Every structure is written in structure tokens, then in C-alpha cells.
Amino acid sequence: MKILVINGPNINMLGIREPEIYGSKTYADLVELIKKEAESLGVEVKFFQSNHEGAIVDEIQQAYGKFDGIVINPAAYTHTSVALLDAVKAVGIPTVEVHISDPDTRDEFRKISYIRQACVATVKGKGFDGYIEAMKLLTKNNKI
């Protein structure tokens, strides 16, 4: 099984500012954590982080026929992007939406998620562990 882990804008800045919301660990720490979990789940994993909406759309499209699952934290594009929603719908790959914080308990504008309707599940407010939960959900889904 192959899982693509996508992170959106500013996730590369994790650990640098706003530790009270996102924790003090970095993007590199996140990648390490997921790699370890992927090993124990026996899945192959690819990481992609971009600050550019179109680049994320391109990455989702190239996953078609190559990946069995997508874990995506679209970051701010969660709340703005119909293009990401359409891309996930277009490829039809089981996708789990992840958020480190719980956007539903923050600013009003963070309560909207466009991508959510194309996702098999949403994991939010669980810190980095949310990505692990998402991987487990996808591996389970794949066995059914």
C-alpha cells in the first residue's frame, strides 16, 4: 500500500511560531514520526509540502493510479480551496483530512472546510498523532 502525505502552506514553519497552537515540533519531526509509523504499518509513504495551491493540485493529480490513500492537511487552503476539493474528487483516492489544531473551535472562517466532503474522514485537534490516526484509518479502509 502506498500513501501520499500532503501538507499545505506554512506547515514547513511548524515549531517556529505559535507553539501554543501547533506545538514546538518541526515539519522534519513530523516527517520522522510518520516514517516510523509507516514502517510499522508496512506501508510506503511519500511526503509533499507546498505553499502553492496549484502545486498541490498537480501532486494530487499525479497520485492517480499510483497511490492507495492520501493524508492531507491543506492548512489555510482548507478554508478557501474548491480546486483541492475537485482534485480529490477527480482522482477518487481515499483521502483523510488532518488538522493539528481543531479549526472548528477557532476563528469563524476556519469552520468551513471545502475538502471535507470529498474525504473519507477528518481527524482534528490531535496534534501530530492525527496523522498517525489518518494512516491507520486508510490502511483499515484498504483491507475492507
Encoded one letter per residue, x for contact with ligand CA2 by CB under 6 A and - for no contact, window 5-44 reads: -----xx-xx-xxx---x----------------------
Q: Is residue 72 within the footprint of ligand CA2 (CB under 6 A)?
A: no
Q: What are the residue numbers of the active site?
A: 22, 99
List 6, 56, 57, 99, residue binding ligand CA2 (CB under 6 A): 99
Least Å from the CB of residue 90 to ligand CA2: 22
Query: Which of 49, 109, 53, 61 lies closest to 87, judged by CA?
Result: 61
Q: Is residue 2 within the footprint of ligand CA2 (CB under 6 A)?
A: no
Cβ nearer to ligand CA2, comparing 18 with 44: 18
